[in-house]
A and B are shown apart, each in its own frame.
Chain A
Amino acid sequence: MASAFDESVRRRDAGAKTSGAATYGTDLAVAGMLHAKVLRSPHAHAAIVAIDASAAAAVPGVRAVLTAAELPSGILPHYGYIVKDQPIVAIETVRFAGDIVAAVAAEDEAAAAEALERIRVVYRPLPAVTTIDAALADGAPELFPQAPPGVVPRYGAGARGALRPRSNVSYEFAYRTGDPAAFERCDHVFEDEFRFSRMQHFHLEPYVGIASATREQIEVWTSTQNPFPLRRELARMFRLPETRVRVNVPLVGGSFGAKSNCKTEPVAIVLSLMTGRPVRWCMTFEESFFTNSQHAALLRLRTGVMGDGRLVARRSEIFLDAGAYSGASPLVAEKCGYRIPGPYRYDFIDTVCSCVMTNTTPAGAFRGFGGAQATWASESQIDMIARRLGITPYAMRAQNLLRLGDPFVPGETAIDSDLHAGLDLVIRELGAVERAPGRGVGFAIGLKDGGGINKAAQARVKISTAGEVTIDCATVEAGQGARSSLCQIAAEVLNAPVDRVTISPIDTDHSPYDHGTNASSATVVMGRAVLAAAERVRDDVLRFTATALGCHPGELRLEDWHAVRGRERHSIAELVLREFGAIGFQFTADGFQKAPLDARAPLDSPCVFWEIGWAAVVVGVDRGTGKVTIEQLVVSGDAGKAINPLVCRGQDEGAAMMGVAQALFEQMVFSDGRLMNGDPLVYRVPLAEDVPASFVSILQEQGRGPGPFGAKGFAEGGILPIAAAVANAVEDAVGVRITELPISPQRVHRALSLQQPKTVGVTA
């Protein structure tokens, strides 16, 4: 029997997704459901003076009209991960263009839209702050005159958080370790500023949810990554026991972090309460641009080094553009701040990362989760410092890279990938690069703590009379192949063919508990839960079989639902039928996984593993236009042990192309709070023709992962190093340093025109 990890093993969802049979949230329908649509603010910041929705209800087919005045009494209408500041519908104030002002449920979407057209709103525009700088300026208008409630998480050594440290900053994360005097002994201190752009997730499946709610219970079918956290948030808001809220999750058509916490659900729930019927709200694609986005950032790095290139100290001041509502921003601030040192040794680290509120689309979890922002700044500055010192970027990294077994910072999990080996690997793959005018080489290493912090995962594995295996777990399939990989893990433990393992649909009443599908955690954290459950059920089966055969379980081996004892091969199915009768039986066992709490770890629990992204790139810069073309891109990640190599390759390449887009052209463009390119024709995402002429992803299996069989998570590493690698290559090519994304033709062209003549920069 082939190994469960053989490359020929197909994803469990392959058949459905290549035949049109796969079911997503957009395909679901509940009998009697109404259709919702919302009215959104045209202003970036305004007071709602008056809403007259009286004409809306008169439209035929309309069953409910919701404004702040109609919010049910007794509910808590604000949500957010840490800071509860986002209302179900705007209450007195709209804080970004696109903020929800009213909602309608009707028999069809056309009636709902017509009703919305009849709603009159009087706005009093308020001064808006639409950039980080504007929001932090003295005297800037305050988005939240009254600080919304929030709870600072518990941190460990060296880390702290603060709510609302100042105006327009909803949360601040800080971390410090080492001796502050370290700066004094540095030969040089370099201070540089970087700007990171904002992209939209652009998941092809729009936000969609169906809610069926009464005052006693709520059921939702929704496209979300985190069913149990969503359950908890909805239970809190609607004042129900968690167990009276059920969240069902089908296949998700792409998320990349977008579909976390409340999106369509609160509006749909309230409309359902008002009408007594299920309500579906499927946003249009354009509405995604009004719902969630990646964090733009301003990063100021002050780095002290010795003359020979040794890194000593880094003080970082980071500002994330959180948009109008906090959402997951405090968590992103934690991680961006935590990851800013990169994969290097420092004697002193001092970081503050703030969530700056602006009158723009809220920003939230986005692949990389602060790591892309941190890597952009840090890996750019490493090259800049190297060149200033007359050292090659390679030598600078080689000297400072953390080694296997080094703690990232005191109290944190040790580095579990050979960082230097990975760098050598991608550079070697690049091969000999022929020098030519405008051509340059650059590389970068991105690192993020993976597996989540203090994440708990439970799984159940069940085996039927005939040996069909079912996994119950709440890991969401959003494209990353996690549910399929979990089947492979179970198959391997049970020595069963992979196609005999299925994974049951997710609903929070029946699926075992899980903290959510994020942080590249599914293979490792849920994987270990599945592994434990599979081992437990295997042992149960062997014990049962041993009793039936009158031998010791240790003499038996499980193989393809047979018990092998020396030369004998016994059908377990037959033994089951003999023992339990014609109805048969089903074996079942549970597994659990969670990293321990540890106050010595800055984030209160050491990370599960390190997710690394290495990239090496060759660019061609057209001096006449400033256009940067990626001629060759090599990316690599360390999967530890690749459960499904093709899945790993797809994750790496997909993430890398997101990084390419961020580096070169993709961004949400705001002008005075108005989004200029929020539509599918104008918002440019990578197409097949944007893939570099030479694009190679190398799958490393260094074997040190804590996941099943040595696996590590493998979902986000690819996006981290790309932008910095490209910027580094551009400097190598034409001697200009771009510190703001995207590295657009105009930026390069302008830098070239300002360039002082100098010698061509050093190369690897």
Chain B
Amino acid sequence: MAVSDPIGRQLDGEDAPPLRFVLNGIERAETVPARMSLWELLHDEFGLCGTKLSCSRGVCGSCSVLIDGVPQASCSTFAFSVDGRRVDTIEGLAAAGHPLCEAFAARSAFQCGYCTSGMIVLAKALLDRDPHPARQTVVEWLSSNVCRCTGYAMIVEAVLAAAEAVTDG
């Protein structure tokens, strides 16, 4: 789609180019309706159910994924906007054995689990930018997402523990 079209046309349909993006490390090409959210794409088209739909307003962060390494609410993102980009979900992080998954599991930093995928994705984005975050930084980052079950303290501890594990190699 090299030429901008001010008049507008459907992104789907015969002449619509497919959405090309990298999903959990694998190149994908999908023709998707323009009206589709990224959450719906991941959940309905790819069967990736680990990213949970909750508040549907971008506030709770349960639906967080990484887009080019940036944590973003997939419920508030159009699928077409990931064209040419890299998307990572909880399934990708878990398959790669990220220490955060192990830290959350070992330290019971979850209860109902509905916010957990989003928290792990968010924390990964933090550790990618700041491998040795101060506790206050972890708290500030985690305040981006809502957990109703844990009271947060155990999640903060899991992230700090994972930071040590990451840097210990």
A138 within 8 A of B: no
8 Å CB interface, B8-64 against A: 48-57, 59-60, 62
A582 within 8 A of B: no
Determine the distance from Cα of A306 to Cα of B58 in the docked complex, in whole angstroms: 56
Whether B49 lies near A20 (C-beta < 8 A) is yes
A10 within 8 A of B: yes
Chain B residue with the shortest CB-CB distance to A206: B54
Whether A253 lies near B101 (C-beta < 8 A) is no
- A480-B110 contact, Cβ under 8 Å, with A15-B105, A24-B52, A256-B148: no
In the bound complex, residues from chain A placing their C-beta under 8 Å from that of B151 are 650, 653-657, 686, 691, 695
Interchain CB contact (< 8 A) of B110 among A18, A284, A688: A18
- A17-B94 contact, Cβ under 8 Å, with A688-B139, A691-B153: no
Whether A19 lies near B153 (C-beta < 8 A) is no
Among A129-137, A171-179, A197-205, the one that faces the other chain is A197-205
Interchain CB contact (< 8 A) of A18 among B56, B60, B94, B143: B94
Among A328-336, A339-347, A677-685, A752-760, the one that faces the other chain is A677-685
Determine the distance from Cα of A625 to Cα of B124 in the docked complex, in whole angstroms: 38
A202: min CB distance to chain B, Å: 5
Whether B53 lies near A478 (C-beta < 8 A) is no
- A204-B60 contact, Cβ under 8 Å, with A18-B110, A478-B112, A688-B139: yes
Whether B59 lies near A680 (C-beta < 8 A) is yes
Interface size on B, residues (CB 8 A): 48
A323 within 8 A of B: no
- A650-B56 contact, Cβ under 8 Å, with A20-B89, A688-B139: no
A195 within 8 A of B: no
In the bound complex, residues from chain B placing their C-beta under 8 Å from that of A255 are 112
If over half of B's interface residues share one DSSP class (helix, strand or loop), that class is named, otherwise mixed; here it is loop
Whether B105 lies near A24 (C-beta < 8 A) is no
Whether B90 lies near A19 (C-beta < 8 A) is yes
Whether B54 lies near A285 (C-beta < 8 A) is yes
A560 within 8 A of B: no
Chain B residue with the shortest CB-CB distance to A651: B111
Interchain CB contact (< 8 A) of B149 among A8, A646, A654: A654
Whether B50 lies near A254 (C-beta < 8 A) is no
Interchain CB contact (< 8 A) of A204 among B62, B90, B91, B142: B62
Whether B152 lies near A253 (C-beta < 8 A) is no
In the bound complex, residues from chain A placing their C-beta under 8 Å from that of B111 are 254, 479-481, 650-651, 654
B120 within 8 A of A: yes
Whether A688 lies near B148 (C-beta < 8 A) is no
In the bound complex, residues from chain B placing their C-beta under 8 Å from that of A681 are 57, 59
Whether A284 lies near B152 (C-beta < 8 A) is no
**What sequence of 0s and 1s flags, for each residue 650-674 of chain A, a beta carbon within 8 Å of any chain B beta carbon?**
1101111110000000000000000
Whether B52 lies near A253 (C-beta < 8 A) is yes
Whether B48 lies near A20 (C-beta < 8 A) is yes
B147: min CB distance to chain A, Å: 8
A576 within 8 A of B: no
- A688-B49 contact, Cβ under 8 Å, with A18-B101, A251-B113, A480-B111: no
Whether B113 lies near A688 (C-beta < 8 A) is no
Whether B50 lies near A20 (C-beta < 8 A) is yes
In the bound complex, residues from chain A placing their C-beta under 8 Å from that of B113 are 13, 16-18, 22, 251, 253, 479
For chains A and B in complex, what number of residue pairs have CB atoms within 8 angstroms?
164
Determine the distance from Cα of A202 to Cα of B57 in the docked complex, in whole angstroms: 14
If over half of A's interface residues share one DSSP class (helix, strand or loop), that class is named, otherwise mixed; here it is loop
B85 within 8 A of A: no
**What sequence of 0s and 1s flags, for each residue 203-217 of chain A, a beta carbon within 8 Å of any chain B beta carbon?**
111100000000000
Interchain CB contact (< 8 A) of B108 among A478, A650, A656, A695: A650
B1 within 8 A of A: no
Whether A679 lies near B57 (C-beta < 8 A) is yes
A210: min CB distance to chain B, Å: 15
Chain B residue with the shortest CB-CB distance to A646: B108
Whether A17 lies near B60 (C-beta < 8 A) is no
Which among B90, B153, B154 has the greatest number of chain A C-beta atoms within 10 A?
B153
Whether A18 lies near B104 (C-beta < 8 A) is yes
Determine the distance from Cα of A547 to Cα of B37 in the docked complex, in whole angstroms: 64
Interchain CB contact (< 8 A) of A26 among B52, B139, B152: B52
A27 within 8 A of B: yes
B113: min CB distance to chain A, Å: 3
Whether B57 lies near A20 (C-beta < 8 A) is no
A1 within 8 A of B: no
Determine the distance from Cα of A285 to Cα of B139 in the docked complex, in whole angstroms: 25
Determine the distance from Cα of A685 to Cα of B117 in the docked complex, in whole angstroms: 19
In the bound complex, residues from chain B placing their C-beta under 8 Å from that of A657 are 151-152
A455 within 8 A of B: no
B114 within 8 A of A: yes
Whether A21 lies near B108 (C-beta < 8 A) is no
Whether B90 lies near A688 (C-beta < 8 A) is no
A301: min CB distance to chain B, Å: 30
Determine the distance from Cα of A24 to Cα of B115 in the docked complex, in whole angstroms: 12
Whether B56 lies near A284 (C-beta < 8 A) is yes
A409 within 8 A of B: no
Whether A20 lies near B90 (C-beta < 8 A) is yes
A23 within 8 A of B: yes
B26: min CB distance to chain A, Å: 16
Whether A204 lies near B112 (C-beta < 8 A) is yes
Determine the distance from Cα of A701 to Cα of B149 in the docked complex, in whole angstroms: 22
Interchain CB contact (< 8 A) of A695 among B115, B142, B153: B153
Q: Which 10 A-B pairs have the closest CB atoms?
A: A20-B50, A479-B112, A17-B113, A479-B111, A253-B114, A19-B94, A653-B151, A680-B55, A20-B90, A657-B151
Name A's B-contacting residues (CB within 8 A).
Answer: 8, 10-11, 13-24, 26-27, 201-206, 251-256, 284-285, 478-481, 644, 646-647, 649-651, 653-658, 679-681, 685-689, 691, 695
What are 9 A-B interface contacts by the 8 Å CB criterion?
A18-B120, A20-B90, A20-B91, A27-B49, A204-B55, A479-B149, A650-B151, A654-B151, A687-B152
